[in-house]
Amino acid sequence: MTTTIVDGLRAHLVTHHGDGTPLRREERVIEETPIALLYNGRSFAVMMATPCDLADFALGFALSEGIVGSPAEFELVDIVRAENGIALHAAIPQSRFEALDSRQRTLEGRSGCGLCGISHLEAALRPHPVAADGPHVPASRIREGLDLLARHQPLNARSGGVHAAGFVHGDGKTMEILVREDVGRHNALDKLVGAMRRCEPAIDPHGGFLTITSRASYEIVHKAACVGISIVVAISAPTSLAIRCARDADLTLIGFARDGRMNVYHGDDRIR
């Protein structure tokens, strides 16, 4: 039996085995549900995601996927909740809608894979912009940003197994972080991108760096480049295609950023 505690978490009764005596107790479990993204009434993708921060997710996905070029081209019309999932209905300009035909996703996108559902191989490796110069960041600030990220993951703290994406920014004297969490690392980044643009005022992607609690896949780096983020910091390893994407976009890619260490795979001129 499960019951909803807060958005994104459910309580589940389990049998715990520890000291040899089975114990029935309640555990908190992260939610995962199908979320359909529809534009002008047509379904584009179904992602397995955590059903919280849905307005952020809807806008961030549209921006990071290049479906729209700015929030001004996007309107979240409705959120429809059903027993078997959630549908996010958005309105976009007709020219943007017509461009979707060439890259229609025909299958579901699972929580662990941002490229699942791409119907043509050519659509998997899409063009991306070259990163702006962006900030030049001391290595010590990156370590501090990762410490901030670790302290701003309420869903993971209560359930475990949740990815987080955080954008570290500030004026050089103070440091702030905006964080979004999800069962899928790509979804967490999409939620973060949407949240950054929905803030008042919006957070400039050129004014800080991205931190993620996962490996740095191609999709993570590509999404970051598409929305103007020039520094990506992952606590785990990058993939070879992610490194190639970082080089093509001239984006700073950092991996294994933990325990006071990190590897800079490209763009070390931004780290001082």
Quick: pLDDT tens for 122-159.
555 566 678 778 889 999 999 999 999 999 999 999 99
List the catalytic residues: 113
Percent of the chain topping pLDDT 70:
88
Give the integer Cα–Cα distance in Å for 63 and 50: 19
Domains with residue ranges and CATH for the chain:
1-30 (no CATH), 33-124 (3.10.20.10), 139-270 (3.40.140.10)
The predicted model gives 180-190 an average pLDDT of 97
DSSP 131: P
Kindly report the pTM of this predicted structure. 0.90
Predicted pLDDT of residue 121: 47
Confidence class of residue 3 from pLDDT cuts 50, 70 and 90? low
Give the integer Cα–Cα distance in Å for 152 and 139: 20
Cβ atoms of residues 84 and 51 within 8 Å: no
DSSP β-ladder status, 176-182 and 163-169: antiparallel
Predicted pLDDT of residue 272: 87
Does pLDDT of 6 surpass 70? no
- Copy the structure tokens of residue 112: 């662990």
pLDDT tens-digit map of 38-91: 999 999 999 999 999 999 999 999 999 999 999 999 999 999 999 899 999 999
The predicted model gives 157-180 an average pLDDT of 92
* Distance (Å) of CA 240 to CA 19, 223, 252: 44, 16, 14
Give the integer Cα–Cα distance in Å for 190 and 71: 13
The predicted model gives 106-116 an average pLDDT of 47
Confidence class of residue 15 from pLDDT cuts 50, 70 and 90? very high
- Copy the structure tokens of residue 121: 């191989």
Confidence class of residue 18 from pLDDT cuts 50, 70 and 90? confident
Number of other CB atoms surrounding residue 217 within 10 Å: 24
Give the integer Cα–Cα distance in Å for 41 and 49: 21
Strand partners, 254: 233, 264
Q: Position of tokens 């791409």?
A: 118
In DSSP notation, 153-193 reads -HHHHHHS--EEEEEEE-SSSS-EEEEEEESSHHHHHHHHH
* Strand ranges of the sheet holding 208-212, from the earlier edge strand across to the other edge: 176-182, 163-169, 208-212, 231-234, 252-258, 261-266
**Dihedral sign computed on CA atoms, order 149, 231, 205, 64:** negative
Predicted pLDDT of residue 106: 44
To which H or E segment does residue 211 belong? Answer: strand 208-212
Q: What is the mean pLDDT of the chain?
A: 89
